[in-house]
Amino acid sequence: MEARVGEPSAGRGRPRIERVVMPIDAPHDAAVVDAVARLRDAPGFAALTGTGARADARWSILAAWPIAEAVVPGDARPGSVDPFDALRRLVPPVVPEGADDLPFAGGVIAHLSYDLRIFTERLSDRHPSSPSAPLLVARLFGAAVLLDRDRRECSVIVVRDSGDADFDRKAEVAFRRLFDACRAPVPPRASLPPPTVPRFLMGRDAYRAAFDAVRAHLFAGDVYQVNLTHPVEGTVFGGAAALFERLVAKNPSPFGGLFHLGGDAWIVSGSPERFLETRGRVVRTRPIKGTAARDPDPAEDRRLAESLVASEKDRAELAMIVDLLRNDLARTCEPGSVAVEDACALETHPTVHHLVATVVGRLAEGRDVPDLLARAWPGGSISGVPKIRALGIIDTLETARRGPYTGSLGYLSLHGRSDWNLLIRSAHVVGETAVAWVGGGITVMSDADAEWRETLHKLGGLAAAAHWVLPESGS
């Protein structure tokens, strides 16, 4: 395999990106799994992966050997630290040249927990924290591996001449280690685990009671929509990396990933949903609301998709979230710049159909990506309308802190791009135990049994990857 070294785009003494480009001989999804297998044991490992055939699944970003790290523990309280400022302070004032065609040019890869909601709004927090679920883990990288599905290339990049000798030294070490890892043999695959039955930590009866409580709030006029979720716990033989590998095979996704939280705690993401994307000052969000199961029969699958598109309940649910997100973006975007690009589109995934909208805006002068995240946190599609009241109801009715679930994995590149997912269809894995949450938006038109079945459909891809057998009753 012959390597091609990218030409420096600027003279010595100016920050720039250099890259070594190698062809990818395997199919893209297999190349992603192989790269993760080679690097997963490296310090500070982080992977944001795009798999499957969709246009927004073109790139995967992998990094290790970070230059610096910021961690906000799960038991931190408002006033003790500003997590979004901690993220901001980790990004150096470096804008490397030569990266216009890349999604990531060095920078920060981070996880933000859903439970950061107590830092962005004055909200109750009645559930205990967990040491395995920090509120923020952000790592600064000066080198990374980028896999490009369209060009069938693997690039190993490094930031040169940042003006910070320590940054440059650590970036060079990471670059050489990443390059060597990309040429190393692929470790053996984990064998298929035996089937196991997971535990529904909020059983069907408890879910119905919570659903009825949400409906009471809806009919009282307290809220218009609440995203009610519940956790499922099970064994994943081989741990997080084995689960990720099987998830890519069973349910490829455009916003997946594998992220080391610390110790034996990981996030495994099979998310289909983008939370926020920025390119320069242009902001885009793509909320999902409305779900229908896929069917192996093409005619029935088409009927299910058409029924979803025609669903008054699901279209109304999406419209409410679009309005909420327009307001959220308006908090940091230029006045008059927030607009709806697409109010309702059908999006098809391996196990489900979804309705999706697109909202755009332009970040106001003096605002940055941490500002945007803080003022839109948590995502509207996983909370409710109005958001603050819905968040309070969620805290009262759900059985534990959500932790990573409905938080985000994403990056903030040194050349002005960022992309953040919503951690749905994802698992918090500690050792060989995984907790995966599932849920959906409840409105006055919702039916408890239908909503419960929808949560099981959403769990389907992850359950197949974990080799979980789901009981019909979910109890």
pLDDT at 7 over 50: no
Residue 472 banded pLDDT, cuts 50, 70, 90: low
For the chain, list the domains and their CATH numbers.
Answer: 4-187+199-466 (3.60.120.10)
Confidence of residue 231 (pLDDT cuts 50, 70, 90): very high
Higher pLDDT, 29 or 349: 29
Strand (E) positions, 46-142?
Answer: 46-49, 59-63, 68-72, 107-112, 136-141
Q: What is the pTM of this model?
A: 0.94
For residue 353, pLDDT beyond 60: yes
Give the pair of three-digit tokens for residue 285.
């969000």
Q: Determine the pLDDT at residue 100.
A: 85
Instruction: Name residues whose C-beta falls within 8 Å of residue 447's C-beta, 6 or more positions apart in sequence.
Output: none
Strand partners, 21: 4, 155
The verdict on whether 334 is a catalytic residue reads no
State both tokens at 339: 């607009």
Whether 300 sits among the annotated catalytic residues: the reply is no
Q: Which of residues 6 and 156 earns the better pLDDT score?
A: 156
> Across-strand partners of 426?
269
Residue 5 has pLDDT above 50, yes or no: no
Reported as type and span, the H/E element at residue 200 is strand 199-200
Query: How distant, in Å, are the alpha carbons of 43, 64, 274, 435 from that of 170?
Result: 13, 11, 31, 35
Q: Is the pLDDT of residue 475 over 70?
A: no
With CA atoms as reference, report the closest residue to 275 among 385, 84, 409, 401.
409
The DSSP bridge partners found for residue 452 are none
Residue tagged active-site, from 18, 170, 277, 289: 289
Q: Taking 60 as the threshold, does the pLDDT of residue 75 lie above it?
A: yes
Query: Strands (DSSP E) along 272-351, which ranges?
Result: 274-279, 282-285, 288-293, 339-348
**Long-range CB pairs of 460-464, under 8 A, 24+ apart, other chains included:** 460/251, 460/293, 460/351, 460/352, 461/247, 461/250, 461/251, 461/270, 461/349, 461/350, 461/351, 461/425, 462/247, 462/251, 462/270, 462/425, 462/426, 462/427, 462/436, 463/198, 464/246, 464/250, 464/251
Q: Kindly state the average pLDDT of the residues 201-209.
A: 96
Omega prior to 287 cis, within 30 of 0: no
What integer pLDDT is reported at residue 189 of this predicted model? 87
Segment among 81-95, 109-123, 347-361 with least mean pLDDT: 347-361
SS3 346: strand
The model's pLDDT over 285-326, given as tens digits with 9 standing for 90+, comes to 998 888 888 888 898 999 988 888 888 888 988 998 999 999
Catalytic annotation, pick one of 245, 273, 277, 398? 273
Query: What's the Rg (C-alpha) of the chain?
Result: 22
User: What is the per-residue pLDDT for 474?
Assistant: 53
Give the tens place of pLDDT for each residue, 363-421.
999 999 999 999 999 999 999 999 999 999 999 999 999 999 999 999 999 999 999 99
